[in-house]
Structure 1
Amino acid sequence: MDYPMLFSPLLINGMMTKNRIVATPTSDHFEDKALGGAGIVIAGHAIVEPGRSSYSSGDEPDAFAKYEVEATRRRILKVHQGGARASIEIFHGGEHARVKDFARGPDAKVRADGVEVRAMTEADMEEVLEHFARTVRNARDVGFDMVFMHFGHGWLPAQFLSPRTNHRTDEYGGSLENRARFPLRILETVREAVGADFPVDMRISAVEFMEGSIEFDDVRQFIQWAEPYIDAVQISAGVDIGIEGNVHMATTNFEPHHPNAHWAAQVREVVQIPVGVVGAVMSPDEGERLLQEGAVDLIALGRPLIADPEWPRKAQEGRASDITPCLRCLQCYHISTERRHVGCSVNPRFWNEEFIPRTLTPAVSPKRLVVVGGGPAGITGALTASRRGHEVILLEREGELGGQLRWIAQERFKEDIAAYLAHLVRQVESSSVDVRLGVEATRDSVAELRPDALIIAVGAREIALPVPGVDLPHVLTGNEAVEREHEIGEAVVILGAGQIGTEIGLELATFSDRHVTLLDTGDTYARRGNTLYREGLRQKLEAVAGRLEFAWGTACERIEEDRVLARDADGARRELRADTVIVAVGMTPRDVEAQRFYGIVPEVVTVGDCVRPRIIQDAVFEAHSYAMNL
């Protein structure tokens, strides 16, 4: 077996799990993860105190109430059908809960939204402890194999533990021993409620990444105090409230892989219970290595199982190269998208389970499909159609596949995109798709192929900026800058502070001694990026503030051999030294080129950036869903 440790069993307080993979509660859809081969599936959450502990709504019901418990029981059945152990997150939002009257927390305050937070009295604590006991007892009795206590990410237990949120002066505040008192009472109550032989897991943040937060040494000490009451611990980081900590709870592509593993390893040195880690363990190779090195005992996967729920199954069967990699784009996280565009860039089924099936159905009437364009949209459409039994010819005018991904994948912060591009190419190479590279598709040449249907995915092109001097030899487009970084001089001016321009500037300022100035007529960098992507980007930009600056409300008027002449919104002239100028003012769709193919056959669809330049999620969804129904 390729991954002997990853697929070895583990005994947790009498419960045997078939492998070391834990599926975290990243969505309310558990079935795909269970069928995909995870050993433990955390099937969503149960709030502890209805009306005062939900982060989503004051109306969220008790999962074990009379008219809810049968649906909760079905979560277990969905998990068990895949041979996994069923767990459930036990959750109390504390001062951040959505409530109808008041919230509970360690301190008294009024939240920014006007909700009163009442400092918990001894009587309040007793009441909440009773809620915890009832909830975990119900979870055990309805058939869950274990419970998962959420003590991280800034929720109620973490609020007591962290000096950032606990400013009490009584026996529940001040010293770590005092701040740990109520959280330990919760765990003691839970253990008494479920009994000595029922598995109890706990998640906690090693570091919160917020000013005034708890130190890791204190977190590790708390885990040691908690050990008598729990059977496993999962090490995470960050908080779910406060955007600067949120991007360390769910990391962006600007952070390294498995960033929490070193903290987990330090916890494992001081406890006897199994230690798990969550956070950007992207591949089976990474998971196996952490287990082999003795850093952890369990690998918890969140977004990797959103990108590909069959991650465990493919790894177990020797098909790790078929795993669709997560991009860490955070489109799957509702906070990132303000609940308006939630989905997965590489898995069209996520969030669309009611109409995107788990498995493809064979085409009733196989057709000859011609796909024009070999970017992510074209490749996805070609693969989906081919897997359904259609004859597929893919035409790509360049000498290699990938479209715009070919340049993005070369950036240092885009190793996840590079992995995805390599995955797409592997999938095409092992498919029946007839790939024809270096072919400039025309209306006549496509018609000669006698297709029954067409997918047009010709993408977008970089916008040319019509200013004097743009044709000088030291002026590069964004794509040229990525490919010819060695030619870029010391003083760099980038025209355009969208995602492309800002990321190029960040790379140059981070990995060299160059000084970068970004000119933009607006007032915000990467304005089309989602909320958490932009926060992750901000933190990286802050780290290079001395070598990178923005000139907002400023337009380039002329490029000369060694400088850029610009004018700001007040009409003032600016002159900037420029050894290299990079034009990155955006992309424009190849819509005219796409429209030329209409009328060859009745069945034609345009997908991806040739409709409108957008994100990978849109390109993949459009191509897959169309080919799924062809």
Structure 2
Amino acid sequence: MKNNYPNLFKPLRMRNVIFQNRVFVSSMGCPPTHKHPSSPKYDAGVGFYDKTAGGAAAILVEVPPTQKDGTYPKYERDVIRELMSLAGQSGSKIGAGLGLFGRDEDGTMYGPSSYKKPDGTQLQEVTEEKMLSFIEELGRNAKAAKEFGFDYVQYHMAHESIMSHFLAPGFNQRKDEYGGSLENRMKFPKLAIKTIREAVGNDMPIIVRLSAYLHCDESFEFEEMLTFIKEVQNEIDMVNVSCGMDTWYETNVYHCTTPFQPHNINAHWAAKIKKVCPDLYVCPVGGIVTPEDAEEIITSNQADAVMLGRAMNADPLWPKKAKEGRSEDIVPCLRCSYCYHAANDHNLIACSVNPRFFRENRVPMVLDKAGRIKKVVVIGGGPAGCKAAITASERGHHVVLIEKSDKVGGQLKHADLDEHKSDLARYCKYLQVQIAKSEVTVLYNTTATPEVVKSLEPDAVIIAIGATPVKPNIKGIDKPLVMEAIDSYNYMDMIGHNVSIIGGGTIGSEMALKLAEDGHKVSIIESGDKLCARGHMLYRIGIRHAMDKVSEKITSYLNTSCMEILDDRVIIEKDGKQETIVADTVLVSVGLRPLTDKVASFYGITPETYYVGDCDRVGKVLEATNNAYFIAVNL
């Protein structure tokens, strides 16, 4: 077995613990997938069980607070033992997650000073007496983790933690010995670290997760955080480097990056820490999705290890596949954040590329073979069609996929032309590879008609033919300067300098950003009151931050209608007033319409006929993948 990532899979020793590689797993303490009948408030974190099979260096178990006697609640001990057993089944070391977020038993939230969070939560200024009670509890929890048999502890003092805010001068407005100078602001966080070390002794590793920078005006400077790290480096063993915050949503997109923020976003912070503290292990988290990037981070001495979050939701076997030289089989994370509850307020928690995520009790990790083998014809090779074909083939069915072009991937085939779509481009490549490696027979450059499908004598038909752009009723819509935004990637060299985009949904806004970054002057004409209305909150913040960097190139007209397209300009109307915008090119992006009539033409060939993806309901990769999977797995 060839090891393509020698540094990523090199063992790492911290004190008396040897970690089998350099891949650490973030707990992503999201909605629960495991609850004990006697412990309704305790869970292991989404996807915990699948991740335990991945062969990572370390997996974190979020433990409950201890009782006053320093032990875990009685009915939760068996649960914790089982989670520890699961976490270690593939050689991973098991960590206990420790946190101090300043919440009292009655629900009162405390901060270094009194202020209100963006989500409306009011924080009270914590008293010194309450601070000491928090420290006492932290010590009890750390000692309990040691006595219960955990391999290491990870202390979370990043993002919204009270310790993070104690360090931040904009949040810490105290006038006592814990506020003002950096030396004072460090006292409480340093006491926490000292307390944990005293509780666990000298032989147990301590990992501290922190934000290098909070990405808000109230934040400490990175150099101040670096000073703190230097002060505590002899007490701890590894710094896990994050940034940003959580419910301060404008900064959340740096903590949990969208496609519009860089990959490996915290590697440069990690490199600076590593340079100043060479004897301290450093491990960045944030937008690390490929083994190649992880290997490069370690090889270039930016860090000693990496931590994966959403990438392990997309494919819990990420470490195992990388180690075995099967990186092409790793399901790529899209960084879409639909697995992250903060992104969409629990309206739809799922993974765009892993139907098993959040459904571990419903979706098997390995599919059983079908009792009756069928001939299945799948029409269309976009994300939905590919997922349906691969899934049906895995169950043993004989699958024929009809694709009108010379490659599968659908609209994702254009993703490699836009740097913000690199994750989608990687997923497109993954689908192409998996189709090629499967038993699916693909009829490329073939137009599916009812006659063609009927001639294949299928037992089941899955239709995944997508949708067609909506053509708005605008005077001049047929002029030569007008093209569909969804097709414009094929004609980039034909797009003029002054571009008007009719429609500011996700397609129109992403194209506007791409063109502006390429130097075009872009006007977005949107009839609604905001751009990307169907994107979740963090997506909208992420693309807005990217647009802000080229704001001189983009003008957005909200609550505005396009009235007419002329040869060199468009006429718009807002609040009853008309205005003219110069335009060399007009891109139309007012939505897609399912090809319902064409779908209907394939009915009657076999009773077992289904349709999935955009031809059912126009949506995202998430809906296409998940709906196609469930149709195909039940054939």
User: TM-score normalised by the shorter chain: which range applies?
Assistant: over 0.9
Separation (CA, whole Å) in 2 of partners of 1:396 and 1:428: 12
SS of aligned partner of 1:414: helix
Higher mean alpha-carbon deviation, 39-48 vs 154-163, is at 39-48
2:598 pairs with 1:625: no
1:32 aligned to which of 46, 50, 56: 50
The answer to whether the 8 A contact 1:509-1:547 is kept is: yes
TM (norm. structure 2) is: 0.94
CA deviation digits over 1:94-130, x for unaligned, max 9? Answer: 2xx4864522221134667776533222221221111
Partner of 2:40: none
1:286 deviates by 0.8
1:478 aligned to which of 481, 485, 489: 485
Partner of 1:462: 469
Higher mean alpha-carbon deviation, 475-484 vs 454-463, is at 475-484
CA deviation digits over 1:228-272, x for unaligned, max 9? Answer: 221111111111121111000000111121011111011011221
The answer to whether the 8 A contact 1:209-1:245 is kept is: yes
Query: What pairs with 1:168-567 in structure 2 (closer than 5 Å)?
Result: 168-271=174-277, 272-512=279-519, 514-567=520-573
CA deviation digits over 1:118-153, x for unaligned, max 9? Answer: 322222122111100111112222221111100111
CA deviation digits over 1:430-476, x for unaligned, max 9? Answer: 11110011211112221111111111111111111222222211111
> 2:353 corresponds to which letter in structure 1?
V
Higher mean alpha-carbon deviation, 243-252 vs 227-236, is at 227-236
The answer to whether the 8 A contact 1:236-1:277 is kept is: yes
Separation (CA, whole Å) in 2 of partners of 1:540 and 1:331: 20
Separation (CA, whole Å) in 1 of partners of 2:262 and 2:99: 29
1:63 deviates by 9.5
SS of aligned partner of 1:229: coil
> 2:9 corresponds to which letter in structure 1?
F
The answer to whether the 8 A contact 1:63-1:69 is kept is: no
Separation (CA, whole Å) in 1 of partners of 2:116 and 2:545: 29
Separation (CA, whole Å) in 2 of partners of 1:619 and 1:162: 43
SS of aligned partner of 1:329: coil
- Cα 1:434–1:9 change in 2 (3 A) is same
1:511 deviates by 2.2
SS of aligned partner of 2:493: helix
Partner of 1:83: 91
CA deviation digits over 1:498-544, x for unaligned, max 9? Answer: 011111111111221x2111111111100000110110011112222
1:611 aligned to which of 610, 616, 621: 616
- Cα 1:620–1:47 change in 2 (3 A) is farther
The answer to whether the 8 A contact 1:7-1:18 is kept is: yes
Separation (CA, whole Å) in 1 of partners of 2:186 and 2:66: 19
> 2:62 corresponds to which letter in structure 1?
G
> 1:596 corresponds to which letter in structure 2?
S
Higher mean alpha-carbon deviation, 548-557 vs 258-267, is at 548-557
- Cα 1:451–1:112 change in 2 (3 A) is closer
Partner of 1:59: none
Separation (CA, whole Å) in 2 of partners of 1:63 and 1:31: 25
The answer to whether the 8 A contact 2:178-2:186 is kept is: yes
TM (norm. structure 1) is: 0.95
- Cα 1:618–1:111 change in 2 (3 A) is closer
> 1:172 corresponds to which letter in structure 2?
Y
Separation (CA, whole Å) in 1 of partners of 2:321 and 2:516: 39
SS of aligned partner of 2:276: coil
Partner of 1:64: 72
> 1:133 corresponds to which letter in structure 2?
G
Separation (CA, whole Å) in 1 of partners of 2:548 and 2:66: 39
SS of aligned partner of 1:336: helix
The answer to whether the 8 A contact 1:372-1:456 is kept is: yes
1:49 deviates by 9.4
Partner of 1:588: 593
SS of aligned partner of 1:481: helix
1:624 deviates by 1.3
1:45 deviates by 5.0
Partner of 1:56: none
1:17 aligned to which of 16, 19, 32: 19
Separation (CA, whole Å) in 2 of partners of 1:521 and 1:116: 36
- Cα 1:504–1:47 change in 2 (3 A) is farther
Partner of 2:113: 107
> 1:42 corresponds to which letter in structure 2?
L
Query: What pairs with 1:39-188 in structure 2 (closer than 5 Å)?
Result: 39-44=57-62, 46-47=64-65, 64-94=72-102, 97=103, 100-109=106-115, 117-188=123-194
> 2:510 corresponds to which letter in structure 1?
E
Number of residue pairs matched by the alignment? 615
CA deviation digits over 1:326-371, x for unaligned, max 9? Answer: 1111111111111011111011111111101111112222111100
The answer to whether the 8 A contact 2:212-2:222 is kept is: yes
The answer to whether the 8 A contact 1:372-1:458 is kept is: yes
CA deviation digits over 1:389-416, x for unaligned, max 9? Answer: 1110001122321112123442221111
Separation (CA, whole Å) in 2 of partners of 1:392 and 1:477: 33
The answer to whether the 8 A contact 2:311-2:333 is kept is: yes
Separation (CA, whole Å) in 1 of partners of 2:483 and 2:419: 19
SS of aligned partner of 1:35: coil
The answer to whether the 8 A contact 2:52-2:89 is kept is: yes
Separation (CA, whole Å) in 1 of partners of 2:194 and 2:515: 52
The answer to whether the 8 A contact 1:608-1:619 is kept is: yes
SS of aligned partner of 2:417: coil
Partner of 2:37: none
CA deviation digits over 1:53-89, x for unaligned, max 9? Answer: xxxxxxxxx9921222221222111101121101122
The answer to whether the 8 A contact 2:119-2:247 is kept is: no
1:227 deviates by 1.1
SS of aligned partner of 1:67: helix
- Cα 1:410–1:110 change in 2 (3 A) is closer
- Cα 1:111–1:346 change in 2 (3 A) is closer
Separation (CA, whole Å) in 1 of partners of 2:612 and 2:122: 49
Separation (CA, whole Å) in 2 of partners of 1:560 and 1:109: 53
Q: Percent identity?
A: 38
Partner of 2:42: none
The answer to whether the 8 A contact 1:253-1:329 is kept is: yes
The answer to whether the 8 A contact 2:71-2:144 is kept is: no
- Cα 1:318–1:612 change in 2 (3 A) is same
Identify unmatched segments of 5+ residues in structure 1.
Answer: 51-61
Separation (CA, whole Å) in 2 of partners of 1:259 and 1:98: 33
Partner of 2:36: none
Partner of 1:57: none
